[in-house]
């Protein structure tokens, strides 16, 4: 591949990756009356900050943001905890039904989520968990676990068994070997898994809308409920709000992205 | 009997499927769902509690009512586009009670749950117009008390029409077509008619089938695909091919284009005015909005527009009586009616409120009622619980014809087959 071809490829991928973000920014800076102007402009003829200023009028956004951070973070923590032990079992032990269980876990990904929504709603309703953080955390964890288990299993496969055996020879028990040897050397994989779960919890719309109730509503349904309706489509305000509330997460990802890449690549080497 | 790994998996799979099936217990019969149970607290669910143009007004009304009644009103809101699914799920799950705002289009679907209270006993507590009451009925039962009611009809930009030399609103399809051609001749990117061409709003086409003489549903049978409806679709496609209507337009797009002063006609409910005026560059656009009576195939034929409205319903269960008193107060008392109209522009549904100076002196409301609101008929598919899927089948058929995937006749025939299957 020549240098020019590489650059063109990177440019095309860049447009796909950053084009929507750029458009989001441009829309947030465009006055209401120019948003739907045709032909569209790559940069507004007049930049306005009014849509960002409008955010101050909506204290509910801070609540949505807090709810999102709580739900996505706890989903990530729970997912990493459960998937780490499950993946350890699949990776380091050989027992009857192991392979079937692995595929059964993966098969759960094949159910349409809308179908599971009804089931989960009824279960949470019957158990009194509706409109709680726990309902969201449990349902998001349900969806992230299969892929995370497989991701971590691939990662644990790359950790030599000899390392764990050496720890056991030195007197470490099963849990000690996991906690003091396996998990520390698998940190990039754990962070990658956690980030994946976090993104799932952060982005979800329909489960958060259905299970969370008004007080525990997260950002995606909260923003839609605030800016889109029967007679309103406040796209610039929605874009401005999306930009602002995404910033903390983007910064977090920039800091952790080297773990994400390392984790995903390491797990992909041997699976 | 020995259990193999395969059979265990099969049992687990079947169990998972069974677990996924929603439980739909038959609703218990309730003798008088509005019998006072002494409970003053109830919940109120409404999408208007979160829309910028209505939320402050509605919240203040809710707070005032709660203060006066001595009870607590717990509010909840969902985005309009997801509202029906959300409340259906909650009603089926038995977690939703109290009062609820609904689009009148959803009444049959909600009534099919068996959880809506028949509000016939409170329908006489205010002087609601007969027309408004009728859109709150399903199979003769008054499940919804009308809150605002009008229609979806043509709105023109008076200035653009004048520039195009169209001095009188078109009364017939032929005159309408001429007006569209005159608007197109203005050039400068003017869209003569921002008609609905995206599937999500193609239900508007029902009114055009009426305009061409098709009953759409006759004696309980869907007759989409009859000669008149095929003629309507052929006409619609002709306008599409001649670029007199634009591709890929839904209500939001149409409002946005209209707000830029680039559209001659578009179709909307009365509440759309606020969205258009807010987004307009020309701050006098509000004065240029002109509701237009729907052009019919022949002059002298009474125009018909799709009915549109909001109603309040009461769900059976705790606090239903308190919720019904709230519904009566909000929809039927002068103070709440005048406040709601003043702050949102949505017309009331009682004769006395419609006769107030505030309503009568509002030029747009008067013009809208005179040209559109006074000539409405309920969407013929609202009576079916699966009305949304039925309308989607029709919309897909219309779009297939517009983009040339099928002839108008074949497209509507296919649509009717699908629609009939959904009514079974």
C-beta atoms of B256 and A221 within 8 A: no
C-beta atoms of B22 and A119 within 8 A: yes
Lowest-pLDDT range of A6-10, B23-27, B366-370: B23-27
Q: Which domains does chain B have, with CATH numbers?
A: 16-150+308-379 (3.40.190.10), 151-305+381-421 (3.40.190.10)
The C-alpha atoms of residue B253 and residue B294 are separated, in whole angstroms, by 21
Shortest CA gap B167–chain A (Å): 28
Q: Write down the domain spans for chain A.
A: 1-48, 51-270
Half-sphere exposure for B8 (CA within 13 Å, toward CB): 9
DSSP structural state of residue B369:
I
CB-based contact (8 Å) between B190 and chain A?
Answer: no
CB-based contact (8 Å) between B243 and chain A?
Answer: no
The pLDDT of residue B15: 46
The pLDDT of residue A218: 94
Cite the beta strand spans of B85-135 per DSSP E: 98-103
Instruction: Give the model confidence (pLDDT) of B270-306 as tens digits.
Output: 989 988 888 888 889 999 999 999 999 888 889 999 9
C-beta atoms of A130 and B95 within 8 A: yes
Task: Provide the β-strand partners of residue B221.
Answer: B218
The C-alpha atoms of residue A195 and residue A205 are separated, in whole angstroms, by 18
- Assigned token pair, B412: 């509507």
Task: Choose from B25, B58, B82 for mutation: most chain A CBs within 10 A.
Answer: B82
Instruction: Give the model confidence (pLDDT) of A81-118 as tens digits.
Output: 999 999 999 999 999 999 999 999 888 788 777 778 88
C-beta atoms of B81 and A33 within 8 A: no
Span A144-150, mean pLDDT? 93
Of A33, A38, A225, the CB nearest to B281: A33
Shortest CA gap B142–chain A (Å): 24
Per-residue pLDDT at B35 exceeds 70? yes
Lowest-pLDDT range of A201-210, A250-259, B90-99, B101-110: A250-259
Angle of CA points B314, B316, B322, to nearest 5°:
60
DSSP state letters, B323-347: HHHHHHHHHH-HHHHHHHHHHH---
- Alpha helices, H only, B242-360: 251-259, 272-279, 285-288, 320-332, 334-344, 351-354, 357-360
CB neighbours (10 Å) of residue A260?
17
Instruction: Give the model confidence (pLDDT) of B139-190 as tens digits.
Output: 999 999 999 999 999 999 999 999 999 999 999 999 999 999 999 999 988 9
Shortest CA gap B281–chain A (Å): 5
C-beta atoms of A125 and B86 within 8 A: no
The pLDDT of residue B8: 46
The pLDDT of residue B298: 83
C-beta atoms of B9 and A125 within 8 A: no
CB-based contact (8 Å) between B79 and chain A?
Answer: yes
Which of these, B166, B133, B122, B98, lies nearest to B314 by C-alpha position?
A: B98
C-beta atoms of B79 and A115 within 8 A: no
C-beta atoms of A122 and B23 within 8 A: yes
- A37 neighbourhood in chain B, CB within 8 Å: 260
- Assigned token pair, B24: 């739909």
Span B30-53, mean pLDDT? 88
The pLDDT of residue A264: 62
Phi and psi at residue B70, in whole multiples of 5°? 80, 5
Which of these, B113, B104, B182, lies nearest to B150 by C-alpha position?
A: B104
CA distances from B342 to A269, B234, B251, B291, B374 (A): 67, 42, 24, 20, 21
The pLDDT of residue B329: 97
Inter-chain CB pairs, A–B, below 8 Å? 97
For strands B141-142 and B289-292, give the pairing: unpaired
CB-based contact (8 Å) between B22 and chain A?
Answer: yes
C-beta atoms of A33 and B260 within 8 A: yes
C-beta atoms of A111 and B20 within 8 A: yes
- B94 neighbourhood in chain A, CB within 8 Å: 125
CATH of domain A51-270: 1.10.3720.10
Contact between residue B88 and residue B113 where contact means Cβ atoms under 8 Å apart: yes
Burial of B389 (0-12, 13-18, 19+ CB in 10 A): middle
Shortest CA gap A211–chain B (Å): 10
CB-based contact (8 Å) between B18 and chain A?
Answer: no
Shortest CA gap A258–chain B (Å): 38
The pLDDT of residue B367: 94
From chain A, which residues contact B within 8 Å (Cβ)?
32-38, 97, 100, 104, 107-108, 111, 115-119, 121-122, 125, 130, 206, 209-210, 213-214, 221, 224-226, 228-234
The C-alpha atoms of residue B58 and residue B47 are separated, in whole angstroms, by 10
Of A36, A119, A209, the CB nearest to B82: A209
C-beta atoms of B47 and A32 within 8 A: no
Confidence of residue A24 (pLDDT cuts 50, 70, 90): very high
Per-residue pLDDT at B213 exceeds 90? yes
Instruction: Give the model confidence (pLDDT) of A194-238 as tens digits.
Output: 999 998 899 899 999 999 988 899 999 999 999 988 888 888 999
Task: Choose from A209, A229, A235, A241 for mutation: most chain B CBs within 10 A.
Answer: A229
């Amino acid at each position: 591949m020549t240098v020019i071809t590489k650059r063109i490829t990177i440019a095309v991928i860049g447009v796909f990756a950053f084009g929507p973000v750029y458009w989001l920014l441009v829309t947030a800076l465009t006055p209401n009356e120019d948003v739907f102007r045709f032909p569209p402009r790559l940069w507004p003829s007049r930049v306005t900050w009014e849509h960002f200023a409008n955010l101050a009028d909506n204290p509910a956004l801070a609540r949505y943001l807090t709810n999102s951070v709580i739900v996505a973070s706890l989903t990530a923590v729970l997912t990493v905890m459960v998937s780490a032990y499950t993946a350890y079992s699949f990776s380091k032990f050989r027992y009857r039904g192991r392979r079937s269980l692995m595929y059964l876990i993966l098969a759960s990904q094949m159910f349409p989520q809308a179908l599971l929504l009804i089931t989960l709603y009824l279960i949470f309703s019957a158990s009194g968990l509706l409109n709680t953080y726990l309902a969201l955390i449990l349902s998001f964890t349900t969806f992230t676990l299969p892929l995370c288990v497989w991701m971590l299993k691939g990662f644990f496969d790359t950790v030599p068994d000899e390392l764990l055996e050496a720890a056991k020879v030195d007197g470490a028990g099963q849990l000690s070997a996991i906690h003091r040897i396996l998990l520390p050397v698998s940190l990039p994989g754990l962070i990658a898994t956690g980030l994946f779960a976090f993104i799932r919890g952060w982005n979800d719309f329909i489960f958060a809308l259905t299970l969370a109730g008004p007080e525990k509503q997260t950002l995606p349904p909260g923003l839609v409920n605030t800016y889109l309706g029967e007679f309103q489509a406040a796209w610039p305000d929605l874009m401005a709000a999306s930009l602002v509330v995404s910033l903390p997460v983007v910064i977090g990802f920039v800091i952790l992205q080297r773990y994400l890449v390392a984790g995903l690549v390491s797990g992909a080497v041997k699976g | 009997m020995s259990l193999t790994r395969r059979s265990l998996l099969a049992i687990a799979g079947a169990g998972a499927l069974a677990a996924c099936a929603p439980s739909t217990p038959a609703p218990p019969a309730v003798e008088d769902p509005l019998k006072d149970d002494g409970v003053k607290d109830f919940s109120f669910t409404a999408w208007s509690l979160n829309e910028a143009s209505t939320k402050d007004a509605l919240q203040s009304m809710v707070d005032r009512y709660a203060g006066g009644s001595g009870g607590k009103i717990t509010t909840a809101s969902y985005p309009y586009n997801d509202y029906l699914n959300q409340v259906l799920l909650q009603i089926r799950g038995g977690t939703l009670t109290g009062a609820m705002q609904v689009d009148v289009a959803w009444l049959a679907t909600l009534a099919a749950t068996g959880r809506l209270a028949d509000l016939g006993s409170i329908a006489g507590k205010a002087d609601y117009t007969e027309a408004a009451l009728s859109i709150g009925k399903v199979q003769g039962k008054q499940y919804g008390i009308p809150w605002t009611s009008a229609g979806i009809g043509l709105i023109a930009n008076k200035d653009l029409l004048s520039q195009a030399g169209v001095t009188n609103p078109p009364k017939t399809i032929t005159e309408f077509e001429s007006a569209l051609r005159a608007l197109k001749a203005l050039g400068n990117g003017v869209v003569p008619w921002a008609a609905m061409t995206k599937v999500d709003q193609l239900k508007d086409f029902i009114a055009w089938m009426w305009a061409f003489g098709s009953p759409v549903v006759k004696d309980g049978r869907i007759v989409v695909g009859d000669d008149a409806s095929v003629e309507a679709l052929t006409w619609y496609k002709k306008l599409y091919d001649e670029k007199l209507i634009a591709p890929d337009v839904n209500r939001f797009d149409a409002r946005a284009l209209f707000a830029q002063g680039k559209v001659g006609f578009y179709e909307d409910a009365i509440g759309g005015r606020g969205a258009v005026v807010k987004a307009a560059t020309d701050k006098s656009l509000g004065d240029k909005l002109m509701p237009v009576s729907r052009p019919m195939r022949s002059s002298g034929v009474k125009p018909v527009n799709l009915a549109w409205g909001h109603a309040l319903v009461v769900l059976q269960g705790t606090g239903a009586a308190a919720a019904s008193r709230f519904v009566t107060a909000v929809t039927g008392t002068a103070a709440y009616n005048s406040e709601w109209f003043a702050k949102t522009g949505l017309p009331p549904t009682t004769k006395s409120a419609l006769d107030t100076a505030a309503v009568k002196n509002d030029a747009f409301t008067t013009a809208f009622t005179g040209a559109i609101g006074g000539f409405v008929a309920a969407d013929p598919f609202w009576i079916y619980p699966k009305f949304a899927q039925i309308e989607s089948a029709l919309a897909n058929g219309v779009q297939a014809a517009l983009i040339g995937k099928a002839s108008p006749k074949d497209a509507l025939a296919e649509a009717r087959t699908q629609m009939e299957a959904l009514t079974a």
